[in-house]
Amino acid sequence: MRFTLRLWLAVLLAAASCAAQAGPMGFKDSWMAMGDFGPNWREAWVNYAVTPRDAVGVGALYMRSDDKTRRRDVAELTYTRLLQRWNSKNSQANVWFLAGAGSVEGNDFSGARTLLSPGIQLDYETTRFYVAATARLYRASGLNHDYGSVRAGFSFYEVDYEETQPWLIVEARRMNDLSDKTEITPMLRLINKGYFVEAGINNSRQFRFNFMHIF
Amino acid sequence: MNRSLIKSLFIIVSLSAGLLGGVAHAAVQTIRAEVNGMVCAFCAQGIEKKMRSLTQTKEVYVDLKNKVVAVELKEGQVLSTDTVRDLIKDAGYDVSRIETVGSTVEQIRAAVKVGRK
Residue A54 sits in a domain of what CATH number?
2.40.160.40
Distant-in-sequence contacts of B20-28, Cβ < 8 A, 24+ apart: B25/B102, B26/B102, B27/B75, B27/B76, B28/B72, B28/B102, B28/B103, B28/B104
CA distance A49 to A68: 36
The SS3 of residue A102 is strand
| Residue A153 structural domain | 2-214
Of A87, A158, A194, the CB nearest to B45: A194
Chain B hits for A54, Cβ within 8 Å: none
Q: State residue A22's pLDDT score.
A: 52
Q: Do B50 and A27 count as a contact with CB atoms less than 8 A apart? A: yes
Average pLDDT estimate for A35-41: 95
Burial (CB < 10 A; 0-12, 13-18, 19+), residue A31, is middle
Give the tens place of pLDDT for each residue, A132-159: 999 999 999 999 999 999 999 999 999 9
The percent of residues in chain A predicted with pLDDT above 90, rounded, is 81
Residues with Cβ < 8 Å from A120, sequence gap 6 or more? A95, A96, A97, A98, A134, A135, A136
Q: Is the pLDDT of residue B8 over 70?
A: no
Measuring CA to CA, which residue among A140, A67, A135 is closest to residue A102? Answer: A140
Of A90-104, B13-27, B49-63, the one with minimum mean pLDDT is B13-27
Measuring CA to CA, which residue among B70, B59, B2 is closest to residue B32? Answer: B70
Closest-CA distance, A67 to chain B, in angstroms, reads: 37
Q: Is the pLDDT of residue A1 over 60?
A: no
Domain B28-116 has CATH 3.30.1330.30: no
Closest chain B residue to A155, measured at CA? B40
Number of domains in chain A: 1
Q: State residue B90's pLDDT score.
A: 86
Confidence of residue A17 (pLDDT cuts 50, 70, 90): very low
Q: What is the mean pLDDT of chain A?
A: 89
Query: A165 CB near a chain B CB, below 8 Å?
Result: yes
Chain A hits for B43, Cβ within 8 Å: 22-23, 27, 92
Q: Is the pLDDT of residue A206 over 90?
A: yes
Interface confidence (ipTM) of the complex: 0.77
Q: State residue B22's pLDDT score.
A: 44
The SS3 of residue B51 is helix
Confidence of residue A207 (pLDDT cuts 50, 70, 90): very high
Q: Which of B36, B39, B93, B97 to mutate to test the interface with A (most CBs of A within 10 A)?
A: B39
- What's the one-letter identity of residue A26? G
Q: State residue B3's pLDDT score.
A: 62
Burial (CB < 10 A; 0-12, 13-18, 19+), residue B101, is middle
Which residue ranges make up each domain of chain B?
28-116
Q: State residue B12's pLDDT score.
A: 54
Residues with Cβ < 8 Å from B69, sequence gap 6 or more? B32, B33, B35, B38, B47, B48, B51, B60, B61, B62, B63, B84, B88
Q: Is the pLDDT of residue A115 over 90?
A: yes
Q: Which of A83, A125, A160, A167 to mutate to test the interface with B (most CBs of B within 10 A)?
A: A160
Q: How long, in residues, is chain A?
A: 215
Of A33-37, A164-168, B14-18, B106-110, the one with minimum mean pLDDT is B14-18
Residues with Cβ < 8 Å from A144, sequence gap 6 or more? A137, A138, A176, A177
Chain A hits for B42, Cβ within 8 Å: 22, 191, 193-196, 212, 214
CA distance B7 to B62: 48
Q: Which of A92, A164, A192 to mutate to test the interface with B (most CBs of B within 10 A)?
A: A92
Give the tens place of pLDDT for each residue, B65-92: 899 999 999 999 999 999 999 999 988 8
Burial (CB < 10 A; 0-12, 13-18, 19+), residue B41, is buried
Q: Is the pLDDT of residue B2 over 90?
A: no
Q: Is the pLDDT of residue A10 over 50?
A: no
